[in-house]
Chain A
């Protein structure tokens, strides 16, 4: 057996990203100003993003797949990592955890997500997931002197390890049944042997669903989300409410629509109640939250429910609308967190919803931006959130799931209560506490980018929608 180096051209973005993460890790030793490390990280990510234009294809056998689908998700990850770093710079200084490792870990986590989006093999998928998750566990516990951050990291780690157990059990059953871990090989074997109604296969699908459901925080596997989102550093909450969720959806799309395409009836039947439960739990429990990070945690659970509709539809239109939705969610959610992070200042936590009372009188600009993001999260036109929901619901109606869309719209209406409550507090109440904003140039840039994206996509959605449609062609 002679070894030949596989074709490395499709995997260039991952390789460069790894090089960047290692470089950032090393320069942290010599660069004293951590802001410089952040700038280098962002510039590096921007350069790596350019290599996404390079050749696509499969390499390492079929373990690595670079196609339109994976590229779209990688763009979401890059948007996520750059915006998260922008809102981190000032924040981690306030929290007094201004260490360079923060940035290399955020990059390593992003590499894990990229590996997941490009995984053509269950082993690679698992390892990518662990790389992403392990980095995120550490980041969740980054504020070592804060007991809530410790709790978040430990809870996330223990439950994450538990869900990995389900994933591995599922993978081992699939491997035993089909003799391969290659996604296309699994699909071919299932068709060839007529395994699609095999109960063991159904069990393995169920186990994979549990593991992926954990990563996207779908109910009933969402229990970790509120505590972890609340305890983790706010910038990391923003990072992990978008990145790991999108990566989870990327693998759900790939595994269920490629490997288990023949068993579609089975997994759609499991996903429908899961999606309804997720929307119900997320939207209804969010009504009772008084901590804004917890509220956005439940909101993020609810949004996973909407995005699941795109997977349930199980065709290219559904996938494209799901990807669309996640991209929009990245902008509006990180935007909302960028405002929340500004309220955190020396000696003031600023994560209670009552801290927003009368914000329009003291800080009209911040209140106006928060208003835009809350409108977008609710799905009110002309914001991007409306477009995201519109296309998901359209895809579902076209596929004949009208009743499911009705359910989703009802839950969406419920969500207006807790999003718009923030708006009401900001505009219709008098300020009770004096809130000083910790603004910085970088978080200003993040806010400008997210606001622009939310409004532009909201008014001119065609470019993004077409891009997502192109990306799933030939999936």
Chain B
């Protein structure tokens, strides 16, 4: 019961916070709300017995990425979001579609049957400790996806340099 309550609170809070983040007009407020959002997500990881991921979530996302966000926002010096009236108002159609999708998803997921759990049960992970279990699969079974991720990050860096640093000519 207490588990359900815990999950219900965090799931609800994450959804609300995510909405708050994207609806703030002041980007600095958005970033501040996002900090709260990241902490809630970390709590959800904790709830899943993934304390290592929870720590990473706090250190990397809340500690690192968010500070970078704040930096970027302050550097470009946008106080208030620019508002441009749209060519075609799509709000009503978008809302209808979103609600429709939600209904379809909720209906469909009623037939969801969870697959039997794999070898990484909570007992197994507790015995081996979280970081070790994660490290082992990441560098053996999931070595290939892990290496692809490194390429994606490299492309992101190149992209940032190309789009931001190359001189503006023309």
- In the bound complex, do residue A199 and residue B111 qualify as a contact, i.e. CB atoms below 8 Å apart? yes
- Shortest CB-to-CB span from A380 to chain B, Å, is 37
| CB-defined contacts of B113 to chain A, threshold 8 Å | 177, 193, 195, 198, 200
A13 to chain B, nearest CB (A): 14
Q: B112: which A residues are within 8 A, CB to CB?
A: 173, 176-177, 198, 200
CB contacts (< 8 Å) of A144 on chain B: these are 163, 166, 168
- Bound together, the chains give a CA A414 to CA B168 distance in angstroms of 43
Q: Which chain A residues (245-264) contact chain B, with CB distance < 8 Å? A: none
Alpha-carbon distance between A200 and B139 when the two chains are bound, in angstroms:
32
Tell whether A289 is near chain B: CB-to-CB under 8 Å.
Answer: no
| Chain A residues closer than 8 Å to B129, beta-carbon distance | none
Contacting residues, chain A, for B154 (C-beta < 8 A): 108
**Would you call B144 and A63 a contact (CB within 8 A)?**
yes
Binary contact readout B86-121 vs A (1 if CB under 8 angstroms, 0 otherwise): 000000000000000000110111111111111000
A72 at interface (Cβ–Cβ under 8 A)? no
**Does the CB pair B140–A189 fall under 8 Å?**
no
Q: For chains A and B in complex, what number of residue pairs have CB atoms within 8 angstroms?
A: 106
Q: How far, in whole Å, are A266 and B114 apart by their CA atoms in the complex? A: 21
Residues of A within 8 A of B105 (CB): 203
A18 lies within 8 A of chain B by Cβ: yes
| Chain A interface size range | 35 or more
Complex CA distance for A105 and B162, rounded to whole angstroms: 10
Q: Which residue of A lies closest to B139 (CB)?
A: A3
Q: Give the size range of B's interface with the partner.
A: 35 or more
Looking at chain B's contact residues, is the secondary structure mostly helix, strand, loop, or mixed? helix
Q: Is B158 part of the contact surface with A, judged by Cβ < 8 Å?
A: yes
Residue of A nearest to B170 (CB): A145
- Say yes or no: is A60 at the interface (Cβ < 8 Å to chain B): yes
The answer to the question of B152 belonging to the interface, with a C-beta cut-off of 8 Å to chain A, is yes
Q: Are B117 and A179 in contact (CB under 8 A)?
A: yes
CB contacts (< 8 Å) of B108 on chain A: these are: 199-200, 202-203
- Flag B147-160 by CB within 8 Å of A: 1 or 0 each: 01101101110110
A104 at the interface (CB under 8 A from B): yes
11 chain-A/chain-B pairs, Cβ below 8 angstroms: A3-B139, A96-B170, A105-B162, A127-B145, A131-B155, A145-B168, A145-B169, A189-B115, A198-B112, A200-B108, A203-B105
Residues of A within 8 A of B (CB): 1, 3, 6, 18, 25, 60-61, 63-64, 96-97, 99, 101, 104-105, 108, 111, 115, 121, 123-124, 127-128, 130-131, 134-135, 137-138, 141-142, 144-146, 153, 173, 176-180, 189, 193, 195, 198-200, 202-203
